[in-house]
Amino acid sequence: MIHAIAHIEFNAINLAIDAVYRYPEMPEGFHADWIDVAADEARHFELLRGRLAEAGAAYGDFPAHDGLWDMALRTRHDPLARMALVPRVMEARGLDVTPGIMRKFSGIGDDATVKVLELILREEIGHVEAGTRWFHHLCARRHLEPEATYFSLLREYLHGEIRCPLHHAARRDAGFSENELKRLEELCAKH
């Protein structure tokens, strides 16, 4: 489990750096935000690597999937799609599942890992919030209605297949509206 999360954090470093590199036309604040995110992700990775080392393991010891990078490739042509699908879907999913993972580690008495996950959860809210902010910025620039645009991207890229339950409080802090949360849950109910 720690290896799987370390892999996500490792991909997240590259995803944040890719956003900086990929969209030179974006404002300076965008690049500054994703540099900051990359630094957070590197710290998250290091913390988890420390937990792996304590268990006598290292990153690369287990197989890992490529789902996160796949989404980087699919959204590379457009920062609007990137913000919707990477921070506002994939990183947001992390907010939903982390409390349950923390309970599992707490159940086996691994409080050191729980502490690391607590910090990760707190900082990930900021990453999703940055995604929301830049998603709205791009929608405004293109005269698009953000909510309709977000849900049409979910249809296009994910066929509307969204997983629940959602962590409402964390997602609200990250800029999801009540109506977005409601509509996401309606999508969950359909699949």
Q: Minimum Å distance from CB 68 to Fe ion?
A: 10
Q: Give burial (CB, 10 Å; 0-12/13-18/19+) of 28.
A: exposed
Q: Should residue 127 be labelled a site residue for Fe ion when binding is judged by CB under 5 A? A: yes
Contact 15, 72 (CB under 8 A): yes
Range in contact with Fe ion (rule: CB under 5 A) among 62-70, 73-81, 118-126, 165-173: 118-126
Range in contact with Fe ion (rule: CB under 5 A) among 9-17, 48-56, 58-66, 107-115: 9-17
Nearer to Fe ion, 59 or 152 (CB): 59
Nearest to 68 by CA among 119, 27, 16, 25: 16
Q: Should residue 44 be labelled a site residue for Fe ion when binding is judged by CB under 5 A? A: yes
Nearer to Fe ion, 70 or 186 (CB): 70
Applying CB under 5 A, what is the total number of residues that bind Fe ion?
A: 7
Q: Minimum Å distance from CB 129 to Fe ion?
A: 11
Contact 143, 103 (CB under 8 A): no
Binder among 41, 110, 129, 180 for Fe ion (CB under 5 A): 41
Nearer to Fe ion, 116 or 138 (CB): 116
Token reading at 92: 């947001």
Nearer to Fe ion, 7 or 137 (CB): 7
Nearer to Fe ion, 44 or 137 (CB): 44
Range in contact with Fe ion (rule: CB under 5 A) among 96-104, 124-132, 141-149, 159-167: 124-132
Q: Should residue 18 be labelled a site residue for Fe ion when binding is judged by CB under 5 A? A: no
**Which parts of this chain interact with Fe ion (CB under 5 A)?**
9, 12, 41, 44, 91, 124, 127
